[in-house]
Structure 1
Amino acid sequence: MKPPSPTAGAASLHLLSAVYLLLLLAPAAADDLQTLLSIKDAFKDSNTRVFDSWESNSNLCNFKGISCDSDGFVKEIELSNQNLSGAIPLTAICSLNRLQKLSLGYNQLRGRVSEDLNNCSSLRYLDVGNNFFSGQFPDVSSINGLVYLYANCSGFTGAFPWDSLRGMSALQVLSVGDNPFDRTTFPALVLNLTRLSWLYLSNCSIEGEIPEEIGNLVELVNLELAMNFLTGEIPAGITKLKKLWQVELFSNNLTGELPAGLRNLTNLEMFDASTNFLSGTLSEVGFLNKLVSLQLFENQLSGEIPAELGEFRNLVNVSLYMNRLTGPLPEKLGSWSEFYFIDVSENFLTGPIPPQMCKGGKMKMLLMLQNNFSGEIPASYASCTTLTRFRVNKNRLSGWVPGGIWGLPEMKLIDLAENDFEGPITTDIGNARSLAQLFVADNRFYGELPAEISKASSLVSIDLGNNGFSGTIPVEIGELKQITALHLQGNKFSGSIPASLGSCHSINEINMAENALSGEIPPSLGSLPTLNFLNLSRNELSGQIPATLSSLRLNLLDLSHNKLSGPVPESLLTEANNGSFAGNPSLCSETLAGFRRCSPQAGMPNHLRLVLLCLMLAFVALLASLVGFCYLKKKADRTGERSLKDHSWDLRSFHVLTFKEDEIIDAIKQDNLIGKGGSGHVYRVMAGNGKELAVKHVWHSDECAGRKIGSATPILGPPRSSKHRQFEAEVKMLSSIRHVNVVKLYCSISSEDSSLLVYEYMPNGSLWDRLHTCRKLALDWEARYEIALGAAKGLEYLHHSCDEPMIHRDVKSSNILLDEHLKPRIADFGLAKILQPEGSRESTQVVAGTHGYIAPEYAYTNKVNEKSDVYSFGVVLMELVTGKRPIETEFGENKDIVDWVCGKLKTKESVLSLVDSSIPQMYKENVIKVLKVAILCTARLPTLRPTMRSVVQMLEEARPFQLLSIVVTKDFVGNK
């Protein structure tokens, strides 16, 4: 045999070495495979397909989201945005010894992140941001090689472990904002991380001043400190950070001027220091020629806008509203780029509107209201087809509006009010298919209103008041099915009021005062279900007042100074006290002072008088019989309650019971009675084991049941046509519900004649009791807030989380019960209804609910949905904020708490006056935030109200001491 050559021997040796090495490594790689499979198992409840390729017989390096090093070990796990849920299996993950990247952001991960994370010492990249964790962020001091750390918007609370970053000299990205951490001053340790290029600490409760030493972080490209509690001036040290691309400092309490030397930040593209208290001029900004977005609104800046901004080639967004700026806008502003947005409202700016801001064909919004701009609207904007909002009201603009502006296809809002414009609204408006709001009041417009306005089918509000429009109101206006407000007052319109307005079923305001309208008032106006403001005064209307107007629920009616004749409808007599019919000498009334008496009617024939007398006598006899029967029935009921044991009872339990049926039945007696209402009596029962229970006794017969519910009665609901049906409804609802904020139904005990519902007992009664009765408690704001949030969560559960979502239909403060710790429970489900499948809505043939809480749609439709509950809950929020009942004499005749609150949303002072005087000043801003939620909930149109899920989210954002400061006037007055 020929001996092997040296070369062949060497090759064999290398092969053996490689095989030996693979054998050594194989067990470790196999361990990684098993670890990945255990991670897959930990996420088995996630609704994701990312693990489809993770199989035991596959190469782990081919698993989706997995990257390996050259030896076949797991190096990276990239599972961000994969709809993962549950807890992170950190023990398994950190056993991957060569893991350098762990990316789990944008998922639905929950629970606590344990200290096991410290075992992932080889990590260089960690992303757990945008999840739903709880508890504190763990100490990560052993992962001192981290280069990227993302934990923003992840739900962590408590104190962030800043000291654990001490050894992370390689850290380049630190993103832990948008977490409700404990308040702290700016963490000094961060100032030593000199390799940082990305620092995101927005909305994480940092207070005090920004340190001058921020200038040490010379590698910073992005600096975000917005939505904190920062005070003092922007430090000069920030001007040393010449690599900065973005600076976000908005929504703090910063003062002073923009620092000298800001011009050094020549790479700055995004600058936002809005909603602070900055003063001085914008002179330094004139040197930042790479700016793309400039946002300094809601400050106290003064002086002129630097002319250099007109030469900036990349600028697309300018927001400088609510400052004290003067002088003109640069003529070439926005002409070099695809300019997108400008808002310089509420300043003292002068001069013309720059003509070329839409030159790039991308502009969306032009907001320049409340300044001193002059001249005409440049013709170039007539072809700006991307515009959605055009607001220049309260300026000194003049001339004709370019015709094309009326018909821009994406335009949603045109606001030209309070200027000196003239000319007509052109037929172009027929092309404005997206236009929702048209405000041109207080100008010198003239000509006829074109019939083509009916083709702007998205219109919701029209205000043409105080101009010179003439001609007839086009009958086609009735085709605007979404219109809610029509203001045509103070013009020269003539002819009749179009009867077609009767088909605008969403309209709630009509003002046609001070025109030359003639003819009769169309009876069709009486069919408008949501109309609450009707002003037709100072016209030449004639004929009788239509009886159909009596069906309206009007907050304002003014038909004065016309040529109306005939009797004033009886149901409208109260309006006469407001001068609603003055100046109509031909009107008459049998009861109103100051009006002539109507002509007497022909006498009634004798035989009709006899028939009427007989009917009256029969009615009196029937009424007497009914009263006697009720008396006897009530007396029988008293004895009946003492002999309930004579009945045969059937018990249905819905929880494990620790009491017996006989204990409940024996306790139904007068001594234990704590409440009466339309659906039954309520008793307080002490079971043998010491447990307190509330028992509702419902008779299955309707005869002589409770006639009227008191506002403060706990658990009870309004009378219904069938007590048995109501009982079955409540049992069906409550037996399936398991929620901490919904009252617990232990069992039902039924006989042929009556039934008993056994609830948990609420020792603190109802919220109504605690706010409005002799059992009133001094509820502090924190307690009120927790009651509001808990009740909202209960309703959210009913609407969104039940197997069969349901509407309650009688939400009110007396149906929110309070346990010994003042934790709320939603109660009284006698009116609740299961929601119909999508595409239909629950229909009720009677008005359900309680006066003051009932949503306005109940007045004009028997089709209601969960948004009616939202309205009622909004009223409850108003009770908590104001301490007032839903109906108070101080609100005025025919007005409730919603009307009263909305009437005070004019100034900051009047808004603050709504807050219950017992609530300390320190809470006022949080209270106003809750009031804002209440106002959203009580929107007149159901479609404009939020869902209960959104309500819960908004309330959680209003938690005391965890909110940013808000500007009351900005939230309620003049929102753009």
Structure 2
Amino acid sequence: MLSGSIPLPIGNLSELTFLYLNNNQLSGTIPSSVGNCSELQELYLNDNLLEGELPYSLNNLVRLTSLYIENNNLEGRIPLDFGNYKELQLLVLSNNRFVGGVPRGLGNCSKLTNLSAVNCGLSGRIPSSLGQLTELTLLYLSDNHLSGPIPRELGNCKALTDLQVYGNHLEGVIPSELGMLDHLQTLMLFTNNLSGEIPKSIFSIQTLQHFLVYGNNLGGEIPKEITELKQLRNISLFDNRFTGNIPQGLGLNSSLMLVDFTRNKFTGPIPPNLCFKKKLRKLLLGQNHFRGIIPSDIGSCFSLTRLILKQNNLTGELPDFVEKSNLLFVDLSNNSLSGSIPSSLRNLAKVTSIDLSLNNLTGNIPTEIGNLLDLEHLNLSHNSLEGVLPLELSSCRKLSRFDASYNVLNGTIPSNLRNLVELSSLDLSKNRIGGSIPTSLFQMGKLSFLHLGENQLEGNIPPSIGLEFETQSLRSLNFSSNRLTGSVPKELGKLKMLEQLDICCNNLSGNLEVIGQLHSLTEVNVSYNSFAGPIPSPLVKFVISSPSSFIGNSDICIDCRVESGVSCQGYNNNNTFKSCNTPPRKRGLRQVDIAMIVSGTFLFALILLLGVSYVLLRHKGHERNLLVSSEEGASSLLNQVTEATENLNDKYIIGRGAHGVVYKVTLGPTKVYALKKIGYVGSKGGNKSMVREIQTIGKVRHRNLVRMEDFWLRKDFGLILYGYMKNGSLYDVLHGADSSQPLEWEVRCKIALGTAQGLSYLHFDCDPAIVHRDIKPMNILLDSDLEPHISDFGIAKLLEESVASMTSSKIQGTIGYMAPENAFSTRSSKACDVYAYGVVLLELITRKKALDPSFGGEVDIVGWAKSTWNKNEDKIEKIVDLELVDEFVDSRVKEQVREVLLIALSCTEKEAIRRPSMRYVVKQLLLLNDFRSPSKHALT
């Protein structure tokens, strides 16, 4: 293999006709002396390390027929005067770093058959002069920065068989003249900005095999002429705006292998016979509006490897699957499928992933599931499945994620699940499973996510929970709302990687000392048990962020002694928890004492109500319509809310936060709400938090901020009604039970931009300006379209409120998202929000948590990202989520991820003054391709 540079004397070889120096390690520039080799016909310099600009002297090589210079580091403009290249047939320039446009003079190379300039940095328009190349068969201009329309003159390139211009900024319509290319086999126009309908003339090209136009703004209906393309193998319309039905005969007269119509607006039934010729390998029709049943022939298509029909309106039963099926991936989630899971599931011997969640499936989980020896992911959640977990499930030795939550399963948890040695996530929550927690569950060393909440489990938490601690990787543990008794075993303290612990609503007793040993915890909930004694000092920080996570334990207290290192001032100034140092009362209450207390309580409630009403009336103006429901008397809507939640029954709780409990309220098929209950009786600050949240939310009107529907002030608590967000929080999507779901870069872009716009509105468009003070994924809610809505203004600070009313000794925010300056100050600023937003951006890019154990030591995501980036600036793959790396085949995605990473790093600068404003962040995001700001982003 040659190295070094190309020697200058090479120009002395005046009779040289062929020069092959490709696939070496040559470096340096291409010497201008090469232009002296006037007899040269073929020049191959591809796959080297050459750099610099192309020498102008190459124009002297008028006999050249082949020029290959791809896969180097060449830059600058392409200086070739193609008017001299009358013999040129092959020109390959791909994978360099040129600037400028495609030379117009290429149209003079009348013998040119192959033009390849992929990923070259080219910009400007595709020159119409290329339409003069009547012998051109291959035209590759993909992954550049080309803009403008596709020139209609390309229809004159009659010999063209392969046209690929994907991954640019092309706009306008697909010219109907392309239908004149009657030899065309491959047409790839995906990831551009094309609009309009697909011309019918395209579907008259009988030679067409590959038609890929995904990631544009194309629309309209698919013409029936598509059914006449007998050689069509791959068609992808993914992520456009197509409507109407799929033509019935699509599969009858073709050799289809790929059909991808995902994320459009197709309606009607899925046509039968898509697998007519048994060649179809991938059928991707998810996220549309298809209705009706799944055609039975889909289950009998033995060539099919990938079947995705998720998020449609499909009904009926699951199809029977044919023997010797080759299906590897099945996703039928989020439909209205009914009936039982067929026993023919056993025929999917090669399947690795099955998702049947969010349907209306009934009956038992079939024992035949044990035949799926290669199964890795199984999601049966949100159905009406009943019966027991089949013992045969333990035969799926490769299973890594199993979710059967939100069903009506009963029986006990089989002890033989310990055979699932690859299992990392097990969710059986919200069922009717009884018995005890099997000790064998904790013999699975890779288990990191275990949720058994809201079942009927009894007995103690087994000590075996920590016996395998050397290999134990548990990070999220939920035993809430069961019938567990006894104390927390000391072995729990060995789970050094545990981040989330929820054991609320049981009958557990004893103290919390063991839980205090879990230094990796970021979330904890021990409420509504019978715990006693002092809250360990490592847990006191959670009293600030989530006091409701400790309530319902009447005998716990906070140790305020100097030697304990805990000051009750700032932690317990709302008297939610008693001080461990308060001497017990030695006498009972007399009747007169009780009478005085009752009278005082009534008087306090009356004063509180009048005070809150006074504050609210001061802010009547444009909020006047909100005050109607603030009266103590019940409204008809409040009656409906109370009835729908069975008087705020705990089974409707969907979340707990620092300022209250959240319930799901369903008043009708299209009327679903979230209801926050905030208690303030007996506290100095609770009612202020309530009023502050009402004041703040009542003012804001923006599509990326949660909108309050109504509120009520009761004697003991307040209620705020919001719109329900179907997809939960960003935390759920990134790190929760559904974190295994794919999250495309485009979706992450939408979340990043929407969140930034919401914060920018708070900072610059509200008067007075608002600082949120607790931006984090849990407070970013996602609607059915994954549009973000910032929530929880309970600790928002109105910048122009009087200092006296807002002075606090509490440090507001969440560890991992607090700016460095908050370590020594309780004052919050816009820059603190910017820092927290930067952390959220890093989580979107990496899909790691703010305090991820994989970082090691005391390092958070900011420290890890900056350190990794400083060492690997040219290898962004070292930082980003592996799922995004798969999208880097589109070079624009990689560049966008890099730019957003730089924005995140600037937002998390240590010095507040160096951080950008949210208005500037929005501007930078909009400058990136695909971060558009249409008129619908206006305030609502």
SS at match of 2:134: coil
Aligned-partner Cα distance in 1 for 2:137–2:850: 48
Q: 1:449-488 counterparts in 2 under 5 A?
A: 449-488=413-452
What's the CA shift for 1:262? 2.2
Say whether the 8 Å CA contact 2:497–2:853 is kept in structure 1: no
Is the aligned partner of 1:516 residue 2:483?
A: yes
Is the aligned partner of 1:910 residue 2:801?
A: no
Q: Deviations over 1:545-571 (max 9, x none)?
A: 225426546554332333333444455
What's the CA shift for 1:117? 5.6
Is the aligned partner of 1:154 residue 2:109?
A: no
Percentage of identical aligned residues: 26
Q: 1:469-618 counterparts in 2 under 5 A?
A: 469-502=433-466, 503=469, 506-546=473-513, 548-549=515-516, 552=519, 554-569=521-536, 572=539, 578-587=547-556, 593=575
Q: 1:600-749 counterparts in 2 under 5 A?
A: none
Name 1:329's counterpart in structure 2: 294
What's the CA shift for 1:316? 1.1
What's the CA shift for 1:375? 2.3
The letter of the residue matching 1:955 is: V
Aligned-partner Cα distance in 2 for 1:187–1:932: 42
* Structure 1: gaps of 5 or more residues: 1-26, 48-72, 603-873, 920-925, 969-976
Say whether the 8 Å CA contact 1:471–1:493 is kept in structure 2: yes
Aligned-partner Cα distance in 2 for 1:394–1:963: 34
- Higher CA-based Rg: 1
Residue of structure 2 aligned with 1:208, choices 160, 169, 172 = 172
Structure 2 CA distance for partners of 1:35 and 1:570, relative to 1, 3 Å: closer
Say whether the 8 Å CA contact 1:524–1:548 is kept in structure 2: no
Name 2:235's counterpart in structure 1: 271
Aligned-partner Cα distance in 1 for 2:112–2:840: 40
Structure 2 CA distance for partners of 1:324 and 1:340, relative to 1, 3 Å: same
Residue of structure 1 aligned with 2:271, choices 306, 312, 316 = 306
What's the CA shift for 1:110? 4.5
Aligned-partner Cα distance in 2 for 1:318–1:271: 10
Aligned-partner Cα distance in 2 for 1:535–1:911: 26
Name 2:389's counterpart in structure 1: 425
Aligned-partner Cα distance in 2 for 1:927–1:260: 49
What's the CA shift for 1:477? 2.8
What's the CA shift for 1:297? 0.9
Aligned-partner Cα distance in 2 for 1:249–1:912: 34
SS at match of 2:227: helix
The letter of the residue matching 1:313 is: K
Structure 2 CA distance for partners of 1:911 and 1:940, relative to 1, 3 Å: farther
Structure 2 CA distance for partners of 1:438 and 1:326, relative to 1, 3 Å: same
Q: 1:84-123 counterparts in 2 under 5 A?
A: 84-87=49-52, 98-106=63-71, 109-115=74-80, 119-123=84-88
Residue of structure 2 aligned with 1:231, choices 195, 199, 214 = 195
Name 1:177's counterpart in structure 2: 142
Name 1:435's counterpart in structure 2: 399
What's the CA shift for 1:351? 1.9
Residue of structure 1 aligned with 2:26, choices 4, 21, 44 = 44
SS at match of 1:191: helix
Say whether the 8 Å CA contact 2:324–2:347 is kept in structure 1: no
TM-score (norm 1): 0.57
Name 2:181's counterpart in structure 1: 217
What's the CA shift for 1:293? 0.7
Structure 2 CA distance for partners of 1:932 and 1:398, relative to 1, 3 Å: same
Range 167-176 or range 375-384, more displaced: 375-384
Aligned-partner Cα distance in 2 for 1:410–1:484: 21
Say whether the 8 Å CA contact 2:755–2:789 is kept in structure 1: no
Name 2:654's counterpart in structure 1: none
Aligned-partner Cα distance in 1 for 2:11–2:96: 32
What's the CA shift for 1:31? 3.6
Structure 2 CA distance for partners of 1:276 and 1:269, relative to 1, 3 Å: same
Structure 2 CA distance for partners of 1:243 and 1:119, relative to 1, 3 Å: same
Aligned-partner Cα distance in 2 for 1:240–1:154: 33
SS at match of 1:470: coil
Residue of structure 2 aligned with 1:145, choices 108, 111, 118 = 111
Aligned-partner Cα distance in 2 for 1:415–1:191: 49
Say whether the 8 Å CA contact 1:394–1:418 is kept in structure 2: yes
Say whether the 8 Å CA contact 2:252–2:277 is kept in structure 1: no
Is the aligned partner of 1:397 residue 2:361?
A: yes
Structure 2 CA distance for partners of 1:110 and 1:426, relative to 1, 3 Å: farther
Range 959-968 or range 386-395, more displaced: 959-968
Structure 2 CA distance for partners of 1:954 and 1:221, relative to 1, 3 Å: same
Structure 2 CA distance for partners of 1:105 and 1:579, relative to 1, 3 Å: same
Q: 1:25-104 counterparts in 2 under 5 A?
A: 31=14, 33=16, 36=19, 44-45=26-27, 76=42, 82-87=47-52, 98-104=63-69
Structure 2 CA distance for partners of 1:381 and 1:77, relative to 1, 3 Å: farther
Say whether the 8 Å CA contact 1:930–1:955 is kept in structure 2: no
Aligned-partner Cα distance in 2 for 1:967–1:335: 45
Say whether the 8 Å CA contact 2:25–2:48 is kept in structure 1: no
Residue of structure 1 aligned with 2:223, choices 254, 259, 284 = 259
Q: Deviations over 1:275-313 (max 9, x none)?
A: 111111012535453211101111111000111224242
Name 1:781's counterpart in structure 2: none
Structure 2 CA distance for partners of 1:166 and 1:316, relative to 1, 3 Å: closer
Aligned residues: 632
Say whether the 8 Å CA contact 1:180–1:962 is kept in structure 2: no
Structure 2 CA distance for partners of 1:929 and 1:571, relative to 1, 3 Å: closer
Aligned-partner Cα distance in 1 for 2:199–2:840: 32
Aligned-partner Cα distance in 1 for 2:407–2:518: 36
What's the CA shift for 1:875? 12
Say whether the 8 Å CA contact 1:124–1:145 is kept in structure 2: yes
TM-score (norm 2): 0.59
Aligned-partner Cα distance in 2 for 1:203–1:908: 24
The letter of the residue matching 2:310 is: S
What's the CA shift for 1:237? 1.8
What's the CA shift for 1:544? 2.1
Say whether the 8 Å CA contact 1:525–1:549 is kept in structure 2: no
What's the CA shift for 1:87? 5.0
Aligned-partner Cα distance in 1 for 2:472–2:784: 28
Name 1:941's counterpart in structure 2: 852
